[in-house]
Structure 1
Amino acid sequence: MEAQSTLTPPCRPTVLLVDDEEPILNSLRRLLRGQPYDVLLATSGEQALALMEEGPVDLVMSDARMPGMDGATLLAQIHQRYPSTVRIMLTGYADPGAIIKAVNDGRIHRYISKPWNDDEMLLTLRQALEHQHSERERQRLELLTRRQNAQLRLLNTNLEKRVAARTAELQQTADMLDLAYEELKHSYVTGTEVFSMLANLRLPPAKQTNRQIIELVRCYCRVHALDEATSRDLAMAAALYNIGKLSWPDSMIAAPSDLLMHSDRERYRDYPRQSETLLMTLEPMKDAARLILHHQEHWDGSGFPDRLKGEAIPFGARLLKLAVDFVELQRGLILERQMNSDEALLYLRKYAGRLYEPALLEDFVEVCASLHSDLTLVDPDVQVCATRDLVPGMVLARNLNADNGMLLLNAGKILSAALVEKLVAFESMEGGKYCIFVRIPSEEGMAPSTRLGSVLS
């Protein structure tokens, strides 16, 4: 087993320089002064191996010709004992035999000729350490995946016993874990949903969005019979659309985007591209990553990151934009005030033709109605009025709350002239602006209300 094996690279890589000529070592040490490396020096292969036994070394650069143990032999031993350490040979002679031995036995990263170019030397070291960091990160992620798969198998063995004792919410989670275990090895869709659950841990429960957005796009795909590939890409995009936000500080990740400062707003506008960059290396995720990249484009061309307009925006990105905004408006991630589902749909309709495709928006509203039984906006008898447009005899279709959450009027309340005047005065005093959902009753339904439970009445 490798003596210094680790899956997490140190903050400052350690570089070991080996050469029997001290002037060469001093020259290299001066070159690396100010670089983000911890530098160790050795004048022989034996001394280099002794230093490596004392602590982890990320990169070894050794001269080819040294008395006693030559560079090729040293690098071969390092390859056997510490295979993750990057190995580079420094040679001042055209010695093909030594180079071939270093390549075959020492598996060197590359060799550098003396005299070297300082800029090329620094570039070679930086690239070698970056490659090592990427490889260690890949190993770390593979280990994490194996551990999670083992956890999923363990959970699956006892799944049936737990299902009987769980609530309906835990039932849904257990079913998803069961599906993930059966299909994770051949289904990226399930894998992305599991990962989105872990990513959601960065947010408080009231701010988590991915599960609801996934359900919305799946319902749309089912209602409109979209093909399997499109449905799969939309589900993966919905699960990971905000993965680019995970590097944000907690204060920013849960804040309404409308209230972000200028510097944070620039970072906000970059999150779709950051999300796409993280996913583009995964071949099955490329189409979903493209939807994520463009899900903040606007129908009128004023969106980001590429200011696409109209049909130039991929269909899946247009649909994802509707689902994301509908859910985030209700979670307080766009505006400071959290909207109910009706108010969120009203907001979407307000910006039809500017932010959203009008025809797609109406299809989306119908899908929302099939998922949310409490929606009143889709009822043709319900209208949305400002306070000054209210008429005595109208009936509240939804509870009316102040901006601070206080209940003002109950749903079902018949508005009188005096009540309308009080409502206008209260709105003016609070400096707010209410959208009031009302239903116009029939002539027979104009009797005064006897309903209680109202602050204003």
Structure 2
Amino acid sequence: MLSALRRVFRTQGIATLQATSAAEGLALLKTHRVDLVISDMRMPEMDGARFLELVRSHDEGIARILLTGYADISATIAAINKGAIHRYISKPWDDQDLVLVVREALIRRGLEQQNAELTELTKRQNEQLRDANQTLESRVAARTAELQQINGMLDAAYEDLDNTFVLAVNVFSSLMEMRVGNSGHSRRVADLSRETAKRLGLSDREIRDVHLAALVHDVGNIGFPDAMLGKPVSAYTPEETQRYRRHPIDGETTLMALSQLQGVARIVRQHHERMDGKGFPDGLAAPEIVMGARIVAVASDLDDMMHGNLGDQRSTAERAQRMLHGGIDTRYDRSVVETMIKVVDDLAAAAKADVHMDVRDLRPGMVLARDLVSSRGAILLAAGYVFDERVVKQVGDFSAREGVRLTLWVRKNSIPQDTKRLDIPGSQS
């Protein structure tokens, strides 16, 4: 039998070890790596069922096959129960069937070993990644501690900036406005655009793109010469007007390199197009203009009207809304104008409930109602920020250290009933 099996497996390129007894077989297992064991049922000293049981105790992963010539079914059942064999083959066997059974068992054994190796590798990599994350967190914490002396409460915003792409765009937008001298414009346009996009039923991805596009819609202006900065569009010279009409293209070019901003770049290019096709830079008409660009166009013009960026004088909210209505179906999308006017009215009503509060009365869980802006116009904390215990302490320490009375606007519904309130209409936050 051993010779017959050796000949079968030699032709298949399968290496074999042979033993004439169970004891000899167990000794071989201690000195050799074995993937599969074939045992006869009838052997001296112990039968195949007992032998395969010991093989299983030695290494449960070894595949176990029993050769039996017994007609007594109870012997085979014992082998299955005690040795937990994978297959049994009756004698005399068919060489081809035997080879197929063995190859299948070896393949399964190989897959199990690969799975174990991959599991172990994954475990090690996870441990390494966890260690790397802990190291990175330690470095970030150390760097934050260094910045606290010179940045005060800004360190919380900068720490979040490292992990949040949207906050990075917010900071970039703020820095851009410091250059062009139109502080707060992009933030106001972004808030209006995002809320309008939500009410128009846009998808989460589209709402995100609209919000980011509004924050950077004037990025093409950053290259304007100083003479153009802060000047109303109506006061531009012909050369300046030509340069102004190119800024959507420059803005798109600036953003195209970032894969996350492809949709944003398209909105930036189109936000000066008109529904009647008389806009710039491409003269697109209604069907070709993406909804995000239609929203940003209305929000930007509304804010410009109210802050005097389109003409020499500021417009009241009522007059600005009338001008928007007058541009429906020629300059603006009707659904966008009507929805945004409702948004403006709702935001104005909600703002009346905001509470002006001294930083010493801040508590974790309170929500910032309006942007906290530095003396240079940079946004320190954006509206909607939820204060945690760490930032509350930092803001209070900054106020005490600098000897200034710092106040800010907080949403009324986020203030516990037992908290002090400081209502100072018109005071500087």
- Shorter-chain TM-score bucket reads 0.3 to 0.5
TM (norm. structure 2) is 0.45
Name the structure, 1 or 2, with higher relative contact order (CA <8 Å, separation 6+).
2
TM-score (norm 1): 0.43
Structure whose residues are more often helix by fraction: 2
